Amino acid sequence: MENEVIEFDIELGGGGRELDDDGVDIEHPVDDDDMIDSPSLNGIGGGFGSGSGEICLPEGDILDLEPYEGMEFESEEAAKAFYNSYARRVGFSTRVSSSRRSRRDGSIIQRQFVCAKEGFRNLNEKRTKDREIKRPRTITRVGCKAAMSVKMHDSGKWVVSGFVREHNHELVPPDQVHCLRSHRQISGPAKTLIDTLQAAGLGPRRIMSALIKEYGGISKVGFTEVDCRNYMRNNRQKSLEGDIQLLLDYLRQMQSENPNFFYAVQSDEDQSTGNVFWADSRARLNYTYFGDTVTFDTTYRSNRYRLPFAPFTGVNHHGQPVLFGCAFLINETEASFAWLFNKWLMAMSGRPPASITTDNDPVIGSAIAQVFPEARHRFCKWHIFKQCQEKLCHMFLKYPNFEADFHKCVNLTESIDEFESCWLTLIDRYDLRGHDWIQTIYSARSQWVPVYLRDTFFAEMSVTQRSDSMNSYFDGYINASTSLSQFFKLYEKALESRNEKEVKADYDTMNTSPSLKTPSPMERQASELYTRKLFTRFQEELVNTLTFMASKTEDDDEIIAYQVAKYGEDHRAYYVRFNVLDMKATCSCQMFEFSGLLCRHVLAVFRVTNVLTLPPHYILKRWTRHARSSVTLEEHANSVYTNYLESHTVRYNTLRHEAFKFIDEGAESLESYDVAVTALKEAALKVSLAAKSDSASMMANGRVKENLARGRISMNKLASSCQGSSGQTLSEDDMDWKIRELTDGVEAAKRRCEVYRANLLSVLKDIEDHKLQLSIKVQNVKISMKDGL
């Protein structure tokens, strides 16, 4: 046996050092986890050879032997591997306990390998007693004496100088030995399989299931799911660091082709590459038109993307997702997110959004509070619901109605008080008061429950809609299996596809006319202003006003309050306050504040108050067909008719408001009634005279310049004709007839001028439409040429 030599090549652990009296260093390893990881092994001889080592067994297999004093090894590494192999067979884990070095040359001359349960944890260590331990580890050391010591002889061989067999604890059975730390290794074939499955987009859990099936049991796999997860994370990090240069080269090329292309790279303290952000010229232009609300999409984390890719997105005038920039997140600390948001803000000309939507992450939340202190921060409700399915899966299985009740409580409550009451009922019904996750999301309810967010613009068509911009811009192009080398081509394809969809939506809006469902001038006005999708949504609200009744509940001269509800459903009423003079209305549902479109409740009030068209302050340009244009000819073309209707409506509503007050007071008594009737007759006479003089005042204001000169000539003729040859004036009837004749001529001329003006504006509108159509055709040609190349 003395001639038998085992050769291994593995890494050694190190530790702290002290000197003994003979001038030999004694090393005690720093051991945070009570045991030292064994080196990466390929599974040779039961899983204890290294990737490059080999086993030399010239006189037979000694792997089943028990250590004994005098047993020789070629190297210290071989001794350690042998003892670890022995420990695997017996059922315990090993670690390096201490070492001794020669003070003459510093080489190690003695090692002691012990059972992982040797000794006791020092709870008074300086490194732990002065700081709070958030997640204390379980006590694993029980003072076991089992160990093997080896010394290096002058011949260079390592000889066993001591061996203790007995343990003071139970040993692990063979089917559990793979859970012991020193025996958990991922073999070469297993690594290959993990790499293949990871590239296909599988997560650690599904990969472990495949490995267990491949090897015939978890004990034969040789490692745990935690080891698999750590290996995949390290593998992903190494791969990303190796490919990051490809990304930087791509960004430099894009900037050289377009000076408006913006990118920034964060450098860590160790000079390695950190987070990367970029925004092309179109993304920056998109933000100038649609940057009122932004979504920062970190879905890649929940979907286990190989690429830590996070786009900034928004919503365009067709309700489609639009890109504002992209980032690769190598580092996910609060400082790194703050750096990213600052660079994005710089690229967007320093104009922060009014609102921003992200995943529920405290680190991201802290960074947003630093960089966008005025922005309303919302958590993506869809992600909250997804977490609910994961955290409360037992509730979904046990109570089939729980999901519907949870959805109703969050989405269908109309006020904060109603939500609070419904929430208490929900958690009491399903006994969730003590559930940690439920308490956590309830504490953050103002950032994800719709009733708390309706006063802020988020560009969504309804308060119950999930944000389409979240996790959808790159759907179908970038997924869990996308590598960085594939990313650029798929990224550009996604941009082209999104641009083409917007061009198609522009074309449909400009070249097709929607079918109108009512004779309302407001519907026609909206059909000519909004994009097709937004008009359809507005039309839905307008048509639904027919099912609502608006009843006046309060009138304080300037502001009138209405209760709006469906017939027989007063318990589900909405409350609208309408300022007649300013033509402004607010509704308790707050749909306009949230989505930028008027709700059916305000439109119902407009119907009963004779508001015929949308007031200008309720038409957001970002929802119109010319949202991207700096020219607003179409709005100007409609201004003649719109201004007439609006001015008439304002006058009508104001007069009616005052008349009702007059009637109420005049009907109080017979005396007041007589006074009111007399006053009405006098007022009617004055109004009639004012109407007759209206055309004269219009000419005095210079509105009809062409007929002004004619009018003056006619008036001179009238003055001269009013006197006969004898110097006598004409009769009063003749004077009235002449005035009426001239007035009719002025009115006819005015109508002709209005027609000319309308025709001119129509021509200008056609020119603008033609210009937009040419732009669409040019864009289509560019896309076709690019596809051809």
Q: Give the model confidence (pLDDT) of 279-294 as tens digits.
A: 999 999 999 999 999 9
What was the pLDDT predicted at 194? 84
DSSP notation for 1-59 = -TT------------EEEE-TTSEEEEE---SSSSPPPPPB--TTTT--BSS-----TT
Q: With pLDDT > 70 as the criterion, what percentage of the chain qualifies?
A: 71
Provide the 3-class DSSP secondary structure of residue 566: strand
Residue 580, Cβ neighbours under 10 Å: how many? 20
The predicted model gives 712-721 an average pLDDT of 49
The predicted model gives 685-705 an average pLDDT of 61
What whole-number distance in Å separates Cα of residue 691 and Cα of residue 522?
A: 28
pLDDT reading at 422 higher than 50: yes
| Highest mean pLDDT (candidates 474-483, 649-658, 762-771) | 474-483
Q: Give the model confidence (pLDDT) of 190-203 as tens digits.
A: 888 888 887 776 77
What was the pLDDT predicted at 106? 80
Cβ atoms of 70 and 95 within 8 Å: the answer is no
The pTM for the full model equals: 0.61
Q: HEC string of 107-161? A: CEEEEEEEECCCCCCCCCCHHHHCCCCCCCCCCCCCCCCCEEEEEECCCCCEEEE
**Average pLDDT, rounded, for the chain:** 78
Residue 473, Cβ neighbours under 10 Å: how many? 25
Q: HEC string of 449-490? A: CHHHCCCCCCCCCCCCCCCCCCCCCCCCCCCCCCCHHHHHHH
What was the pLDDT predicted at 324? 96
What whole-number distance in Å separates Cα of residue 128 and Cα of residue 260?
A: 53
Cβ atoms of 144 and 168 within 8 Å: the answer is yes
* Least trusted range by pLDDT, from 193-207, 436-450, 561-575, 746-760: 746-760
Burial profile 642-680: b = 16 or more Cβ within 10 angstroms, e = fewer:
beebbeebbeebeeebeeeeeeeebeeeeeeeeebeeee
pLDDT reading at 706 higher than 90: no
Provide the 3-class DSSP secondary structure of residue 625: coil
24 φ, ψ to 5°? Answer: -110, 135
Split at pLDDT 50, 70, 90, the class of 56 is very low
Q: Give the model confidence (pLDDT) of 287-341 as tens digits.
A: 999 999 999 988 765 554 556 788 999 999 999 999 999 998 877 889 999 999 9
What was the pLDDT predicted at 281? 93
Higher pLDDT, 564 or 662: 564
Please report the sign of the dihedral spanned by the C-alpha atoms of residue 657, residue 572, residue 463, residue 543: negative
What was the pLDDT predicted at 557? 73
The predicted model gives 528-557 an average pLDDT of 93
What whole-number distance in Å separates Cα of residue 366 and Cα of residue 360?
A: 11
What was the pLDDT predicted at 13? 34
pLDDT reading at 211 higher than 80: yes
Tokens representing 710 are: 């004619």
Q: Residue 682 belongs to what H/E stretch?
A: helix 670-692
pLDDT reading at 379 higher than 70: yes
Give the strand pairing for 293-296 and 355-358.
parallel
The predicted model gives 478-487 an average pLDDT of 73
Neighbour-count burial of 119, counting CB atoms closer than 10 A to its CB (0-12 exposed, 13-18 middle, 19+ buried) = middle
Q: For residue 264, what is the DSSP state?
A: E
Split at pLDDT 50, 70, 90, the class of 563 is very high
What was the pLDDT predicted at 153? 86
Length of the chain: 789
Query: Cα angle at 632 between 591 and 348, to 5 degrees?
Result: 70
| Dihedral, 240, 244, 247, 248 alpha carbons, nearest 10 | 160
* Least trusted range by pLDDT, from 135-139, 438-442, 536-540: 135-139
pLDDT reading at 63 higher than 50: yes
How far, CA to CA in Å, does 784 sit from each of 367, 496, 499, 500, 787? 42, 11, 13, 11, 5
Neighbour-count burial of 431, counting CB atoms closer than 10 A to its CB (0-12 exposed, 13-18 middle, 19+ buried) = exposed
Tokens 């680190």 locate to: 363
pLDDT reading at 358 higher than 50: yes
Query: Cα angle at 450 between 445 and 454, to 5 degrees?
Result: 115
Neighbour-count burial of 506, counting CB atoms closer than 10 A to its CB (0-12 exposed, 13-18 middle, 19+ buried) = buried
Q: Give the model confidence (pLDDT) of 447-473 as tens digits.
A: 999 999 999 999 986 544 444 444 478
Cα Rg for the chain, rounded, in angstroms? 41
Beta-bridge partners for 325: 312
What was the pLDDT predicted at 17? 40
What whole-number distance in Å separates Cα of residue 482 and Cα of residue 468?
A: 22
Tokens representing 114 are: 């012990």
Cβ atoms of 253 and 279 within 8 Å: the answer is no
Higher pLDDT, 455 or 84: 455
What whole-number distance in Å separates Cα of residue 503 and Cα of residue 774?
A: 11
Nearest CA to 165 out of 271, 305, 67 is that of: 67
pLDDT reading at 770 higher than 60: yes
What was the pLDDT predicted at 135? 59
pLDDT reading at 435 higher than 80: yes
- In terms of DSSP H, where are the helices of 296-333? none
Can you say how many angstroms the Cα of residue 417 is from the centroid of all Cα atoms in its chain? 27
pLDDT reading at 648 higher than 80: no
The predicted model gives 553-567 an average pLDDT of 90
pLDDT reading at 276 higher than 80: yes
Q: Give the model confidence (pLDDT) of 499-540 as tens digits.
A: 999 999 999 999 989 999 999 999 999 999 999 999 999 999
What was the pLDDT predicted at 702? 45
What was the pLDDT predicted at 54? 39
Give the strand pairing for 273-279 and 321-328.
antiparallel
